[in-house]
Amino acid sequence: MTVSYDITNFYNELVAHGLILPNGVKGAYGRGAVFEEIARAFNDLVSRIAKNDGAQEVMFPPVLPRALVEKMGYMDSFPQLAGSVHSFVGNDAAAREISERVHAGLRWEDMLEPTELMLVPAACYPVYPNFSGLLPGGGRLITVLNWVFRHEPSDEPTRLQSFRMREFIRMGQPDDVLAWRDEWLRRGLDLLQGLGLPAQSDVANDPFFGRTGKILAANQREQRLKFEIMVPVISLEKPTAVASFNWHQDHFSSLFGISNADSSVAHTACLGFGLERVTLALIKAHGFDPKTWPEEVRGQLWP
């Protein structure tokens, strides 16, 4: 079977099979039952693989304090991706005016005020502030699943504005943290290749904003701080990143005073699987109906 890579066709087929449910806004489609079944099965498979690691599971809402976004430097590096929650706090007259403007087809959003909340820009962001102080000997391992917002509207079904990341976060001694990140990169490749995906890993960088961002991105690559696992989904030449493996060194631990048991500054690293992207990669590789997927793939996802 020769695989072709056509964004519009793939999107239309996903819609025709009820896998995605468009709502008129780019990168904000709904997910059908079968799509969800695949995403859930993959997430559960990750949980089974990581079971003996003993990660502590936490859960956060898809919003986080504005002050935390500021403190973590997101507005310095990625202002173009951020999403902010605004609400109405006016009086009766202002409420009437909003309603009138809505019905007259006029803009009304300037009558909203910023709240204390923003949308979560990466699943691990709400985690770090909870672990200020001394880590236990051996450090910590956390896992979290959350909805993430990024303002990058696109016609590519693989580039969403709202999507889910399954993350693991490791905090501890620099050597342990780096070794953990590298081991998970191998594990992630084994996992995805074992599911019949043509997955490859490579050094990567985050989409830092603007001219200074180019320098930050080059530094990040040079120091090999970020790796991605990529699979061709909508293009052979530009494969899609389905998982990321990030070594933050002491960036977050310094901000939140996270220290090792011996009081040295801890390092942190995180890895994230993009659940929608993995789901779409599996669909691209094996077809629109999981009932017809190879038995060895089904057996792992639905044991």
Tokens of 161: 């504005």
Taking residues 118 to 137 in sequence order and writing x for each that binds Zn ion by CB under 5 A, - otherwise, the string is ----x-x-------------
290 binds ligand AMP, rule: CB under 6 A: no
Q: Are 164 and 295 in contact (CB under 8 A)?
A: no
Which amino acid, one-letter code, is at 86? Answer: H
Euclidean distance between CA atoms 87 and 278, whole angstroms:
34
Residue among 45, 160, 234, 282 that touches ligand AMP (CB under 6 A): 160
Q: Supply the minimum distance, in Å, between the C-beta of residue 246 and Zn ion.
A: 6
Site for Zn ion in 248-277 (CB under 5 A): 270
Q: Are 156 and 103 in contact (CB under 8 A)?
A: no
Element (H or E) spanning 242, and its range? Answer: strand 240-249
234 binding partner (options Zn ion, ligand AMP, none; Cβ < 5 to 8 Å by kind)? none
Euclidean distance between CA atoms 58 and 270, whole angstroms:
14
Half-sphere exposure of 168 (CA within 13 A, CB side): 23
Q: Supply the minimum distance, in Å, between the C-beta of residue 79 and ligand AMP.
A: 15
Half-sphere exposure of 34 (CA within 13 A, CB side): 17
19 binds ligand AMP, rule: CB under 6 A: no
124 binding partner (options Zn ion, ligand AMP, none; Cβ < 5 to 8 Å by kind)? Zn ion
169 binds ligand AMP, rule: CB under 6 A: no
CA angle at residue 131 from 162 to 219, to 5 degrees?
Answer: 60
119 binds ligand AMP, rule: CB under 6 A: no
Place of tokens 């701080």: 225
65-73, 88-96, 169-177, 271-279 -> range binding ligand AMP (CB under 6 A): 271-279
272 binds ligand AMP, rule: CB under 6 A: yes
Residue among 244, 253, 260, 279 that touches ligand AMP (CB under 6 A): 244
Half-sphere exposure of 33 (CA within 13 A, CB side): 0
Site for ligand AMP in 219-238 (CB under 6 A): 228
Tokens of 15: 């819609």
163 binding partner (options Zn ion, ligand AMP, none; Cβ < 5 to 8 Å by kind)? ligand AMP
Euclidean distance between CA atoms 104 and 223, whole angstroms:
54
The contact set with Zn ion (CB under 5 A) reads 122, 124, 270
The contact set with ligand AMP (CB under 6 A) reads 122, 150, 152, 159-160, 163, 165, 228, 241-244, 272, 274, 276-277
